[in-house]
Structure 1
Amino acid sequence: MFLFESIPLYSGLVWIAILAGLMIFNEVTRYNKLTGILFFVVLPIILTIFVWPKTSGSGTGAQTANWFAWVKTYSALVGCYIGLGLRFNKKMQSKKWCLALAPAILALNILEAVVREFQVMGMQGVIDDMFFKGGPWNAMNGIAGIINMLALCGWCGIIISKDKHHDLVWPDMMWFWIIAYDLWNFAYVYNCVTDRAFYSAALLISCTIPAFTIKKGAWAQHRVHTLALYMMLMLTIPNFFVHGKYAVASTHSSTAYYTVSILALVFNVGVGIYQVRTIIKNKKNPLKDDLYTERKDYQAIRNENTQCI
């Protein structure tokens, strides 16, 4: 195959199980404040003390025994805490500047991956039990990530839904930005997580599906929840998807690396151009204004979440 070596049926079934599991637990964790605290506060404390030092700590030889895996996990958890605060704390909701915490943690998450992308550019061979093949594709996708980060907009328009879930809804985060993010992030995991990229694709889709179907406008919340859940799983069983019968290796093809990175870069450049065009045409201030208020999909998301249910 082009991107991956042969994919056995049982590996495909595990992929589906991971996708379904992340979507189900995303719904559980967004249900109310208690479920969020149990999964994102209580559980990580237990795992940090009793499990992760043994499975992913320094000297374990695990592929997650590196700074990025640990920083990624805790930054995702911090994002969950920010989301819980904005959703359920009246004081945070009353302070407009607190809304900036949501794009800040998302931008930090993207920046972490961009830094890692440029780091991997100079890496070759097996390091920390993971195969790396750095090349120009890393620079291309690093640039795509920077553009994607700069294209974050409309944070002042973030709202908390009026239903029982109190979801964090970001109306200005349009479908084309989400697709651009997905293309960039898949290229990142393919370039930098290599032989774990097959299952990381399930992670990406697990937040995109509910953002387009179950709860539109809440992609940022879906993303940080599923990412935290997935990273906690990875630190707990780091070698499960890389070694043994369920592993699906990347082809490590230069052509494949180039293809996913060029696609991500081109799409993100397109989103960036469209955003600049919108700012100029509608005389918007990207630091204060929602940019896409004239779009019907924006209006539908905002109207749905500002009405009491």
Structure 2
Amino acid sequence: MGFLYETTGFTGWAIWLFVLFALMAFNEFARSTKWGGIVLFLIVPIGLTIFVWPTTAAPGNKYGTGTWFNWVKTYSVLLGCLGFMAIRYIPSLAKKKWLLCFPPLILAVNIFEAVIRDFQCFTYNAWNGAYINNLWVMSGPWNIMNGIAGILNIVTICGWVGIFVSKDKTKDMIWPDMTWRWIIAYDLWNFAYTYNCIADHSFYCGLALIISCTIPAFFIKKGAWLQHRAHTLALWIMFVMTVPSFADRIAPVATTHNPVAFFVVSLLALIVNVMLAVHQFGKIFRNKLNPLKDEIYKETKDYKQVVEENI
């Protein structure tokens, strides 16, 4: 922890674990029942938009929640959650192939928002670190490196034509071609983004939030990573917009503000995403596939397992 973050004690780790398991629990509640999702991603946000966020996320507030990025991210993620629910619970929609463009599109938009933010942080010229819009930021080559990693992560989104709704009672949105390769590359990119742009909040919005959707994707409901990610991200950002003092005052865990740490984290994200792009486009060219029409990993064990468990 000394390389990435300042040392934290038992209480800090207990709070971190509580955040992790709370996100996973609410994700399960949202995906297990239709009404759970409607309450969490429609009714609650409407109430917060009217009565809470105009105060807690007002422009220029001392916790940095009033930026354009937070507001855009909040509603784009909520739109994703509601759109995925429509695909899951309205049978006629899941059969429309053109509508399957929505999941990759909303995913790409969310990644691109963060890419823009990384590039924006570079333009601040805060080479020694500075508080900008009440968030600590250190500009550097890591912003450019990770922005490129994010772009690669977008162009390697594949196989959305194979998205379908599971036949079990939870009716999950299953994306079999979104394998562990892409998920790990995304996780590393996204952690680097939070470390670069929301540095002193990234102990939660980086580590805890990323793990909260990766564990379900690998061990609880395979093939539904995007659904897990949308749910946990929406839950977290709604919480942050509502309790903006959490990461700064209630349970702060700051980064070490070490330029080497920033560089290493973004370099790792860039290397892994380059490797993914080389591997994936190699498969596309060797097998003469059309990435807009074909699934890339249909022959893999992981793909076949996900399909067999959900048809």
For the criterion TM > 0.5, the same-fold answer is yes
Partner of 1:234: 240
Cα distance in 2, alignment partners of residues 58 and 115 from structure 1: 19
Equivalent residues in 2 for 1:9-28 (5 A)?
A: 9-28=10-29
Partner of 1:132: 137
Q: Which amino acid aligns with 1:255?
A: V
Shift of residue 65, structure 1, vs aligned partner: 1.1
Cα distance in 2, alignment partners of residues 182 and 58 from structure 1: 29
Cα distance in 1, alignment partners of residues 235 and 182 from structure 2: 23
Q: Which amino acid aligns with 2:215?
A: I
Pairwise CA RMSD: 0.9
Q: Which amino acid aligns with 1:86?
A: I
Cα distance in 2, alignment partners of residues 96 and 264 from structure 1: 32
Cα distance in 1, alignment partners of residues 286 and 149 from structure 2: 24
Cα distance in 1, alignment partners of residues 141 and 59 from structure 2: 30
Q: Given that residues 154 and 288 in structure 1 are in contact (C-alpha distance below 8 angstroms), is that contact kept between their aligned partners in structure 2?
A: yes
The size of the alignment, in residue pairs, is 305
Equivalent residues in 2 for 1:207-218 (5 A)?
A: 207-218=213-224
Partner of 1:68: 69
CA deviation profile, 1:21-78 (whole Å, cap 9, x unmatched): 0000000000121111010000000000001111111243321110001111111100
Q: Which runs of 4+ in 1 moved over 4 A?
A: none
Partner of 1:50: 51
Unaligned runs of 5+ in 1: none
- TM-score norm. by structure 1 comes to 0.97
Unaligned runs of 5+ in 2: none
Find the residue that maps to 1:100 and give its secondary structure. helix
Q: Which amino acid aligns with 1:80?
A: C
**Aligned mate of 2:272, from 267, 274, 285:** 267
Find the residue that maps to 2:136 and give its secondary structure. strand
Q: Which amino acid aligns with 1:75?
A: S
Equivalent residues in 2 for 1:114-125 (5 A)?
A: 114-123=115-124, 124=126, 125=130
CA deviation profile, 1:82-111 (whole Å, cap 9, x unmatched): 101100012311211111100000000000
Q: Which amino acid aligns with 1:68?
A: F
**Aligned mate of 2:293, from 281, 288, 299:** 288
Q: Which amino acid aligns with 1:157?
A: G
- TM-score norm. by structure 2 comes to 0.96
Equivalent residues in 2 for 1:189-268 (5 A)?
A: 189-200=194-205, 201-244=207-250, 246-268=251-273
CA deviation profile, 1:138-186 (whole Å, cap 9, x unmatched): 0000000000010000000001000001000000001010000000000
